[in-house]
A and B are shown apart, each in its own frame.
Chain A
Amino acid sequence: EAGVAQSPRYKIIEKRQSVAFWCNPISGHATLYWYQQILGQGPKLLIQFQNNGVVDDSQLPKDRFSAERLKGVDSTLKIQPAKLEDSAVYLCASSHGHQASYEQYFGPGTRLTVT
């Protein structure tokens, strides 16, 4: 079974620029998550989708971050404009459903450096 795919793997941008990350979840997984992991910390959930609807975006900085999952499969996370504190690894994960017992499968992440 193919895992969660993410691209790009690395991205370096200057502050105030914009950037977009792409995620393709495991086939058949209805729930998709975006996490932000700052160096030395655990991942923090930014947004959770169930099919193409948002379940939880309470920790998404909506003034600069946006995410979509238009057809309920692939998802894109965008930052515009980026700040220095956005430097982190952005992880995408997927699971069969949104019930608490479902295991989440993580992609390799995109490492973003904002200079």
Chain B
Amino acid sequence: SQQGEEDPQALSIQEGENATMNCSYKTSINNLQWYRQNSGRGLVHLILIRSNEREKHSGRLRVTLDTSKKSSSLLITASRAADTASYFCATAKAAGNKLTFGGGTRVLVKP
């Protein structure tokens, strides 16, 4: 079974707009990670946020984590056509490094 569930399943925006996607999970975690996947570059790690962190930034990416609600959000600001991809959240528990992925959000950025 998948731990994380992304919302929405698909998102279509214009270049320059912001894109926000959410992830909910069910059990306690050590950290939550976001990945991007497109046909050209495979699955690429974007950002990791630990359970004791509430917000993290990396370039145009902003991730929040609310452990009380078991949810996370990924914001991509000033989107570009190259941001077109599927975005997955993945949770890691305290023991081991087993990642449990959600079903992903497909983002289309129109030029």
Residues of A within 8 A of B (CB): 31, 33, 40-45, 48, 55-56, 91, 93, 95, 97-109
Main secondary structure of the interface of B (DSSP, over half): strand
Count B interface residues, CB 8 Å. 27
- Between A40, A42, A103, the greatest number of chain B beta carbons within 10 A of the residue's beta carbon is seen for A42
Segment of B14-22, B66-74, B75-83, B91-99 in the binding face: B91-99
- Which residues of A are found within 8 Å of B92, using beta-carbon distances? 100-101
Please name 24 pairs of A and B residues whose Cβ atoms are closer than 8 Å in the assembled complex, sorted by A: A31-B97, A33-B99, A41-B103, A42-B2, A42-B4, A42-B101, A42-B103, A42-B104, A43-B99, A44-B2, A45-B99, A56-B96, A56-B98, A91-B42, A100-B30, A100-B31, A100-B94, A101-B48, A101-B50, A103-B45, A103-B48, A104-B97, A106-B45, A107-B42
Closest Cβ neighbor of A45 among chain B residues: B98
Are A48 and B97 also in contact (CB < 8 A) when A42-B90, A109-B42 are?
yes
Q: Are A100 and B97 in contact (CB under 8 A)?
A: yes
- Which residues of B are found within 8 Å of A48, using beta-carbon distances? 96-98
Q: Give 9 closest A-B pairs by Cβ, nearest first.
A: A42-B101, A100-B30, A106-B43, A100-B92, A108-B42, A98-B97, A43-B101, A42-B88, A103-B45
Q: Are A106 and B44 in contact (CB under 8 A)?
A: yes
The complex places the Cα of A97 from the Cα of B43 at a distance, in Å, of 19
The complex places the Cα of A108 from the Cα of B42 at a distance, in Å, of 5
Q: Are B45 and A104 in contact (CB under 8 A)?
A: yes
Chain A nearest CB: distance from B4 CB in Å?
A: 8
In the complex, the number of residue pairs spanning A and B with C-beta atoms less than 8 Å apart equals 68
- Between B31, B98, B102, the greatest number of chain A beta carbons within 10 A of the residue's beta carbon is seen for B98
Give B22-34 as 1s and 0s: 1 = Cβ < 8 Å from A's Cβ atoms.
0000000011010
Which of B39-89 touch A at CB < 8 Å?
42-45, 48, 50, 88
Closest Cβ neighbor of B91 among chain A residues: A100
Q: Are B101 and A100 in contact (CB under 8 A)?
A: no
- Which residues of B are found within 8 Å of A31, using beta-carbon distances? 97
The complex places the Cα of A97 from the Cα of B95 at a distance, in Å, of 12
